[in-house]
């Protein structure tokens, strides 16, 4: 990956921990050896926090929606038990929350986690949540189209920056499971 993606100016994330939420920075410092890329190949770029939402970001920084991935937190409930999962899908798709994700969580009901819960439990900013550095007991469900994408842009845990990473590396994160058909076309 070069130092530029769209109009983003990328730097190795490990050398710019200030551009990452604390749990993301901590996870990068213990990057899994079995990941298809080294942790020092995870890149980060500062962005205008007001442009963190996917459509605005892609337009402002010349990044295609098909190269941008979203990480959404889903809460599944069965009785009094709530289970959380992160779903990583391309920006051109939407996670199948009420089908595949609900069944994966063995939940009667599943929905996007409320913003305050997602922020509090992840330690990341809303609109910047990333699958890197999430709680260890949360499954990370990755749509197969994400790992088929050579490089994607995803949140950094903060609204003021974005991570560029090889798509296959997201499928190799701790707790990750690659799922065919996790997402549907938007």
Among 118, 52, 41, which residue's Cα sits nearest to residue 87? 118
Q: Which domain holds residue 12?
A: 4-185
**pLDDT exceeds cutoff 70 at 134:** yes
**pLDDT exceeds cutoff 70 at 182:** yes
**pLDDT exceeds cutoff 60 at 2:** no
* Total domains, the chain: 1
- Give the whole-angstrom CA distance, residue 16 versus residue 147: 25
- pLDDT for residue 170: 92
Which CATH number do you get for residue 93?
A: 3.90.960.10
3-state secondary structure of 140: strand
Reported pTM: 0.93
Q: What is the mean pLDDT of residues 88-107?
A: 95
Order of all β-strands in the sheet with 161-166: 11-12, 43-46, 161-166, 151-155
- pLDDT for residue 30: 85
């Amino acid at each position: 990956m070069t130092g530029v993606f769209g109009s983003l100016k990328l730097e190795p994330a490990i050398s710019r921990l200030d551009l990452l939420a604390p749990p993301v920075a901590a996870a990068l410092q213990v990057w899994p050896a079995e990941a298809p890329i080294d942790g020092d190949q995870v890149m980060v770029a500062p962005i205008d926090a007001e442009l963190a939402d996917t459509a605005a970001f892609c337009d402002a920084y010349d990044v295609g929606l098909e190269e941008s991935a979203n990480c959404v937190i889903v809460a599944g409930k069965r009785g009094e038990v709530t289970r959380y999962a992160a779903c990583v899908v391309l920006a051109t798709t939407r996670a199948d929350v009420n089908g595949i994700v609900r069944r994966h969580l063995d939940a009667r009901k599943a929905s996007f986690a409320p913003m305050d819960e997602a922020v509090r439990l992840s330690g990341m900013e809303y609109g910047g949540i990333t699958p890197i550095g999430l709680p260890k007991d949360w499954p990370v469900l990755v749509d197969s189209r994400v790992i088929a994408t050579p490089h994607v842009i995803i949140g950094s845990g903060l609204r003021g920056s974005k991570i560029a990473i090889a798509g296959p590396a997201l499928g190799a994160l701790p707790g990750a499971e690659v799922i065919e058909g996790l997402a549907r076309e938007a």
